[in-house]
Amino acid sequence: MKLNSYLENWLERIIDGFFAVWPQPYPGRTRLQQCKIISHRGECDNQTVFENTLPAFDKARDAGVWGLEFDIRWTRDLYPVVIHDADLKRVFKLDLKVGDLKLETLKSRCPQAPLLTDVLQKYGRKLHLMVEIKAEPYPDPERQNQILKQCFADLKPQIDYHLISLAPQMLDLITFVPASTCMPIAMWNVSRFSRLALERNLRGLAGHYLLLNNSILARHRDSGQKVGTGYPRSKNCLFREVNRGVEWIFSNNAAELQAMVRHLVESDA
């Protein structure tokens, strides 16, 4: 792992710790009921349950979360599969690159990795799906769009799913759905990605809760767009995002937050 990843993780822990102890007003029962919590790669520990796998998604579904976030990549023979990294080393301890493998080889070496169609068939219309398009070569964009169109044929864009990406140029390659289905994810480049989303009439903007300030939220809200933030871990941080009117809340602790919300709503009945 690169040094900057360690520094980012360290910084995120400090930020999360600060927002965990910063008291926030109770949002009220109605707002909590309407809160849309999205499980980031499913509920997993990458030891007994692995990210972006059906068991991780099952745990999120059983916890009652509103949505799932997951990533898609392409095999060498152009099958979309649900995997975050370009290789299988970090999660599955296999020194194999997804893009170098045909589907048959991938499934024989790593049966836990699901096909996109497996995930859509099992969770489509049951959970809202936030599908991240990873930055990687698209050797045949026209064919790949046709494949994606077939995969998503039974689902309605915006209603059942959105497409998101850290690399907006990848969204330019997606032509099987309207641009209003797509949303960039900002890291440190919030202003540029915000302008891009507004200029191209995309669905909105996603990014870290600290970096998407209230003026950015208001700008997108006034333009009829939505905003999603990640990754609240605590009650106070969740309350802050709900009070700010954030539409989608991505979390690595989605099941825990959903259980807390359910308890608060039931207690406030």
Residues 33-74 have pLDDT tens digits of 999 999 999 999 999 999 999 999 999 999 999 999 999 999
Q: State residue 3's pLDDT score.
A: 40
**What is the Cα–Cα distance from 75 to 21, expressed in whole angstroms?**
44
**What is the Cα–Cα distance from 227 to 186, expressed in whole angstroms?**
11
pLDDT tier, 2 (very low <50, low <70, confident <90, very high otherwise):
very low
> Residue written as tokens 């219309």?
125
Q: For residue 199, give the 3-state DSSP assignment.
A: helix
**What is the Cα–Cα distance from 208 to 193, expressed in whole angstroms?**
13
pLDDT tier, 4 (very low <50, low <70, confident <90, very high otherwise):
low
What is the overall mean pLDDT for the chain?
Answer: 96
- Compute CA distances 116 → 71, 113, 132, 152, 170, whole Å: 9, 9, 12, 9, 18
Residue 210 per-residue DSSP state: T
CATH of 27-267, one of 3.40.190.10, 2.40.37.10, 3.50.50.60, 3.20.20.190: 3.20.20.190
Q: For residue 186, give the 3-state DSSP assignment.
A: strand
Q: State residue 11's pLDDT score.
A: 85
Q: What are the structural domain ranges in the chain?
A: 27-267
C-alpha Rg value of the chain to the nearest Å: 18
Phi, psi of 147 (to 5 degrees): -65, -45
One-letter amino acid for residue 218 of the chain: A
Q: Once rounded to an integer, what is the mean pLDDT over residues 253-267?
A: 97
Q: For residue 80, give the 3-state DSSP assignment.
A: strand
**Could you tell me the end-to-end alpha-carbon distance of the chain, in angstroms, rounded to an integer?**
47
pLDDT tier, 6 (very low <50, low <70, confident <90, very high otherwise):
low
Judge whether 138 and 144 are in contact, CB under 8 Å: yes
Q: State residue 178's pLDDT score.
A: 98
Judge whether 229 and 209 are in contact, CB under 8 Å: yes
Task: Please write the tens of the pLDDT for every residue from 204-245.
Answer: 999 999 999 999 999 999 999 999 999 999 999 999 999 999
Residue 184, both tokens: 């960039």
Q: For residue 120, give the 3-state DSSP assignment.
A: helix
Secondary structure of 157-185 in HEC code, one letter for each residue: ECCCEEEEECCHHHHHCCCCCCHHHEEEE
pLDDT at residue 5 above 90? Answer: no
